[in-house]
Structure 1
Amino acid sequence: MPPIEDAIESVLLPTDGSEGALAGATRGLDLAVAAGADVHVLSVVDTSDVEGVSAILEDDIDEARAAIETEAETAVETVARTVEERDPDLEVTTTIDRGKPFRVIESYVDTAGIDVVAMGTKGRAGLERVVLGSVTENVLRTVPVPVLAVPPGAGDAELTAETTENVLLPTDGSEGAVAAVDWGVTFADAFDAMLHTIYSADTSRFTGDAEPGEILTKLEREGEDALETVRDRARAAGVSVTGTVASGPPARAILNYADENEIDLLAIGTHGRSGVERHLLGSVTENVVRNADVPVLCVPMRGD
């Protein structure tokens, strides 16, 4: 994986003006600053709810639509101003579009050649913390580039070389997990942070006549092999690395490790051993994103 300035040349910050969206944009801006990347700020006007109510008079629909567009303009201007105040040298492109938000974001990623998307996990819907905002969830399921999912509580925790000391990279040895390795190493290198990697030996997914001890021993060997892959790549990049084989359900092991080791950033593949298609998140990743207290970089498996 190349240095962060080569890996990330453009960052997309979608916003709906909510506090959750601003948290995502702020942490995404951290990545843009670290990489010297161009910043794209996008707000999507979704008027389908207003236009779907036939009882509303046409004048009322026009007024409601205008109010939504004004909110979108304000949301974009707020983020653009934040970017300029943080680093005036960054190039900023602002866009307001119409349509289904996640579809517009997906199209914008492809058209503009975006490298990373940064979004809050809580938007205007005001959903509980353990439930992803519907737009963010759909973006995670569909875009072909890494998405930095930022929980509401991470809005004030900067991702900089001064503040980011520990990056966690879970692995299960699958192709989906390997896709995230280079990104985890890149961020640890950019922030001069310790890279932690963890493999969870989960015997609960095995049934049959095999002895639990034999299964655990086999999984631990697989885990050490998976960790060694991460160690090799980290050492080649000059990144300090530590690896752990844990036990139990992977999502719980990852979240517990993050809490106990003061992890500042997680990098995880969106497809693991379950072999789900690109448009579905792996269950482990989904559970981690839903419950993490720190930003989670979700890396889709490469098309090749």
Structure 2
Amino acid sequence: MFDQILFPTDGSDGAEFALEHVLDLAVRHDATVHILNVAETTQNGLLQIRGDDVDVLEQEGERAVREVAERAHGRGVDTVAEVVRGEPYCEIVDYAETHGLDLVVMPTHGRRGLERFRLGSTSERVVRRAR
């Protein structure tokens, strides 16, 4: 039923919780999991970061996808991992459409505290934009 599953991760506790569901689905359906981290480099994201900090975001993203891939491989799940720059909800939907993925699994909350309310819900934006 699901051959290709997209798991966008920001390395948060919410993503950690969702990962277990993703891996269960992947094992059950013998699916490949696409692990995606989006380093937010849009205007909203750049208000918080300066200069070389974009590189730091990408390094954190690489660490997050590597950790997910290691856990997936430990369960016998094949993975594809990528870190991209941009607006998270746009990049997630574009990646899913470009790669013809069957399912996107992501937590409802990743960021914490006031930052979450300022940025809005990435999950909600993905649902509204997805086809």
TM-score of the two chains, using structure 1 as the length reference: 0.39
Q: SS state of the match for residue 273, structure 1?
A: coil
Q: SS state of the match for residue 169, structure 1?
A: strand
Determine the C-alpha separation between the residues in 1 that align with 2:111 and 2:15. 9
Rg (Cα) greater in structure: 1
Give the match for residue 228 of structure 1: 66
Give the match for residue 265 of structure 1: 103
Determine the C-alpha separation between the residues in 1 that align with 2:102 and 2:126. 14
Give the match for residue 37 of structure 2: 199
Cα 1:210–1:166, aligned 2, differ >3 Å: closer, same or farther? same
Match of 2:57 among 198, 219, 222: 219
Say how many residue pairs are matched: 124
Determine the C-alpha separation between the residues in 2 that align with 1:192 and 1:172. 24
- Structure 2, gaps ≥5 residues long: 115-119
Q: SS state of the match for residue 105, structure 2?
A: strand
CA RMSD in angstroms, aligned pairs only: 1.7
Match of 2:75 among 220, 237, 243: 237
TM-score of the two chains, using structure 2 as the length reference: 0.87
Q: What CA deviation, in whole Å up to 9, does each residue of 1:200-219 have, x standing for no partner? A: 011231326821xx122101
Q: SS state of the match for residue 172, structure 1?
A: coil
Q: Which has the higher contact order (CA 8 A, sep 6+)?
A: 2
Displacement over 2 Å in runs of 4+: 206-210
Specify the code of the residue in structure 1 equivalent to 2:97: D
CA contact (8 A) 1:168 1:267 kept: yes
Give the match for residue 252 of structure 1: 90
Percentage of identical aligned residues: 37
Q: How does 1:39-188 map to 2 (within 5 A)?
A: 160=1, 164-188=2-26
Specify the code of the residue in structure 2 equivalent to 1:206: L
Determine the C-alpha separation between the residues in 2 that align with 1:208 and 1:289. 26
